[in-house]
Structure 1
Amino acid sequence: MTARTAREAPEPRTARAARTDRTAGTDRTAPAAPAARSRGGKAPTLEEVAAHAGVGRGTVSRVINGSPRVSAPTRAAVEAAIAELGYVPNRAARALAANRADAIALVVPEPEARFFAEPYFSDIVSGVGEALAETGMQLLLTFAGGARERRRLAQYLAAHRVDGVLLVSVRADDPLPDLLAGTGIPTVISGRRSAAEPLPSVDSDNAGGARTAVAHLLSRGRRTIATITGRLEVYGASCRLDGYRRALAEAGHAPDESLIAVADFTEEGGRRAMRELLARRPALDAVFAASDVMAAGARQTLRAAGRRIPDDVALIGFDDSAIARHMDPPLTSVRQPIEEMGRAMARLVLSEAGPTPPGKPEPGAGPQQLVLPTELVVRGSS
């Protein structure tokens, strides 16, 4: 990727992927009539029209722009919602659509150091880039690790310099997704913030993957199974903890909080959590770590304590990254289809941002929530 600069300011630090030959459409319809009816006297938004009609935001955009890729009943429902709410499209915003940016922003609300340290992010970028290469859209990579960077990012995106936003690694209480949704730019999130995520999202089966991992350890005769979780304000981490607990409960094991250590998805966090677990439960015989990076840290602590893997302690990670394959012994890990998640995110934001390409189905009602399956890859560590 090459560095991108722009005359407009302020602009976050960015990197762009190369452009190919085709382009994808977008719509930035926004309310602009003060007289339009809405609760509280405010003009209704495109999202309110979509909710009222029971369809997605992209479908409303297609109806407004006269796209033929909308069924007659759906068009009638949207037109009725527009009439009932008094929604009036902003002509300036519609004109802006003709000058689309032909760019999608991938926003990472994390420090750059973590982005480059974890294989998860590079695999997401790879999948997104592969999907966008088919469309002619550019990829704008942006970091927003602090409050100031988030504010600058919101200002930058509010100027409609991109056609859609992809968000990865978002905490449950992070205001950034709502800030971005408020700009009217189609936004897709990787990893839901909660079970009731209002934005379109792509996720993996975190709970199911963890459950399979712990069931595997139980099948190998392990009985004192600990877990190292990620930050529990991250919904995916809490789901993996739920899967761990469910597998133990199904095997008749009573809950034991002393076998749970919370970390932060870093290698140092894995080392620290493993030290805590050994201090509490020195006789533990297995560990399920909620990421391969944390598993690598746990392995270092176990070896420093004289514990053999898997003879004394079996170890399983999550992600099935290159780290898992290169550990000694190779790490058993739950495989997430990370590149496929990136591709699905890109396809989803493109479907929200513009007319449905020929041959593609019209989006259904409400935000799309895709959950992709996981798979346990068994190696020497368990």
Structure 2
Amino acid sequence: MSSSPSSAPPVATLEGVAALAGVSKSTASRVINGSPRVTEQAITRVNAAIAQLHYVPNRAARNLVRRRTQMIAMVIPERTAAFFADPYFAEVIQGAAMYASTTDYTLTLLIESEADAEKTHRFLQSGSVDGALLLSHHSSSATYLELSRSLPVVFGVRPVDDVDFEAHTVDVDNVAAASIATQHLIDRGRTRIATITGPLAATAARDRLAGWRSTLEGAGLGSDSASESALELVEEGDYTPASGAAAAERLLGRGVPFDGLFVASAQMASGALSVLREHGLSVPGDVAISTIDNNSFSTDTKPQLTTVDLHTSEKGAEMVKALLTLIAGEAVERETWIPIELVERDSA
């Protein structure tokens, strides 16, 4: 005697999820695909419907149709040693990874040395990822700008020059950051303010120099003669403590007195602070210091450093959000600006 087959429960569908959640099919699809252009209420209702119906998206079939990999790459074209020594990268990556973890996308990290550049470009063009994030202290290279014509790319630094197509960037206003830090020194009564810049081949470093210079000029503290120009109080570093120390030595070696020092990164500021103390100068008594980046390099010094917080973790999250929106074929602002704020400590 044969037994009658048991009736299987109906297979949940996207239409059923949308109906139960009280949203359109397209909204339910956007929630499932991790699109950032969905309200929190819709996300909650769709996820509740998915759980109630035990809906399992056929991701493999969907990705095959859309030619999607559900992978995005964070590309960092920096020397490996510089990458691991700089907390800036870790903070941005942390924000990016945390946001990506709330979506269906997996974030992969590519540290690109000069020797690996061609290999990285081949990988990105092979269809292995759906989009890329470019994070560097340096300006967006022409290669990546060209790549963004065919692959969704979001840059963590704006290009040096205007480009003839829409390059999407998520960044901070570096001119404003430097201006805030410099103005704080002026407000503390400092009238002769030097600066240590980042590598001036980079957009951010040039912007910070411009912010320092324009703020001094606005306060009537710019150069007042050909022999005593503001350039005498400028030295260049490369965002490392050692370069900050070397730049401070060069500033002191010029014999031009200064009572304030704006340093373009906290790493360089920590090195400069050590040199000032070695020369018998007190901080902030003899020289007040302000800087940019709110990380361990600004808090582990004595005194702790007054700095401009760039909210770098938020930057990472916003980069991923913008990239996923591009991948979904939706409109994205060409420039997204992350808010900044002054954090006052004992160095100024």
Distance 1:24 1:379 in 2: 40
Instruction: Name the structure 2 match of 1:18.
Output: none
Distance 1:250 1:312 in 2: 24
| Cα distance change on mapping 1:173 and 1:350 into 2, 3 Å | closer
**Using the alignment, how far apart are the partners of 1:174 and 1:98 within structure 2?**
29
Structure number with greater Rg is 2
Note the C-alpha offset of 1:172: 3.4
Q: Indicate yes or no: 2:127 matched with 1:153.
A: no
2:273 to 295, 299, 313: 299
Gaps of 5+ in 1: 1-20, 26-93, 356-361
Q: In the TM superposition, what is the alpha-carbon distance from 1:223 to its structure 2 partner?
A: 1.2
Q: What amino acid does structure 2 have at the position aligned with 1:177?
A: Y
Aligned to 1:174: 141
AA at the equivalent of 2:325: S
Partner of 1:185: 151
Contact 2:140–2:158 (CA<8 Å) still a contact in 1? Answer: no
- Is the contact between residue 285 and residue 313 of structure 1 (CA under 8 Å) also seen in structure 2? yes
Q: Distance in 2 between matches of 1:118 and 1:166?
A: 18
Task: Assess, with a 3 A threshold, how the Cα gap between structure 1 residues 140 and 97 changes in structure 2: closer, same or farther.
Answer: farther
SS for the counterpart of 2:207 is helix
Give 1:142 deviation, angstroms: 0.5
Q: Write the distance in 2 (CA, Å) between the matches of 1:140 and 1:239.
A: 30
Indicate the SS of the match to 2:200: coil
Structure 1 residue aligned with 2:66: 98
2:140, 2:298 → 1: CA distance? 31
Which residue identity does 2:147 align to in structure 1? L
Distance 1:376 1:128 in 2: 23
Please say if 1:343 is aligned against 2:317.
yes
The CA deviation at 1:320 is 1.1
On the 8 A contact 1:271/1:297 being kept in 2, the answer is yes
Q: Compute the displacement of 1:337 (Å).
A: 1.3
Query: How far is the alpha carbon of 1:144 from its aligned partner?
Result: 1.2
1:348-359 alignment, distance < 5 Å: 348-355=322-329
1:371 equivalent in structure 2: 337
**Separation in structure 1 between the aligned mates of residue 147 and residue 238 of structure 2, nearest angstrom:** 25
Q: 1:97 to 1:276 in 2, by over 3 A?
A: farther
1:306 Cα offset (Å): 1.2
How well do the aligned residues superpose, as a CA RMSD in angstroms? Answer: 2.2
Change in Cα spacing, 1:285 to 1:97, as seen in structure 2 (3 Å) is farther
Separation (CA, whole Å) in 1 of partners of 2:63 and 2:189: 66
Tell me the CA shift for residue 204 of structure 1. 0.5
TM-aligned CA deviation for residue 24 of structure 1: 4.3
Judged with a 3 Å threshold, the aligned counterparts in structure 2 of structure 1 residues 319 and 195 are, in CA distance, closer, same or farther, namely farther
1:195 & 1:174 partners in 2: Cα distance?
A: 11
- Written as runs of structure 1 = structure 2, the 5 A alignment for 1:1-382 is 23-24=33-34, 98-146=66-114, 148-169=115-136, 171-172=138-139, 174-182=141-149, 184-194=150-160, 196=162, 198-255=166-223, 256-355=230-329, 362-363=330-331, 368-382=334-348
- Calculate percent identity across the aligned residue pairs: 33
Measured after TM superposition, the shift of residue 277 of structure 1 is 0.6
CA contact 1:115–1:121 (8 Å) conserved in 2: yes
Give how far 1:127 is off. 0.7
TM-score normalised by length of structure 1: 0.70
8 Å CA contact 1:230, 1:263 repeated in 2: yes
Q: Which residue of 2 aligns with 1:57?
A: none
- C-alpha separation in 2, matches of 1:259 and 1:22: 55
Post-superposition offset of 1:195: 6.1
**1:373 Cα shift?**
2.3
For 2:65 and 2:286, how far apart are their aligned partners in 1?
A: 62
Q: 1:180 Cα deviation (Å)?
A: 2.7
CA shift digits 1:50-78 (9 cap, x unpaired): xxxxxxxxxxxxxxxxxxxxxxxxxxxxx
Alignment-mate amino acid for residue 134 of structure 1: T
Q: Which has the higher contact order (CA 8 A, sep 6+)?
A: 1
Contact in 1 for aligned 2:198/2:205 (Cα 8 Å): yes
Read off the aligned partner of 1:160 and give its amino acid letter.
G
How many angstroms does 1:208 deviate by? 0.8
Whether the 8 Å CA contact 2:140–2:157 is kept in 1: the answer is no
Report the count of equivalent residues.
285
Alpha-carbon distance, 1:376 to partner: 1.0
Unaligned segments of structure 2, at least 5 residues: 1-30, 36-61, 224-229
2:155 aligned counterpart, secondary structure:
strand
Contact preservation (8 Å) 2:174, 2:204: yes
2:22 aligns with none
Distance 1:195 1:155, change over 3 A: closer
Q: TM-score, normalised to structure 2's length? A: 0.77
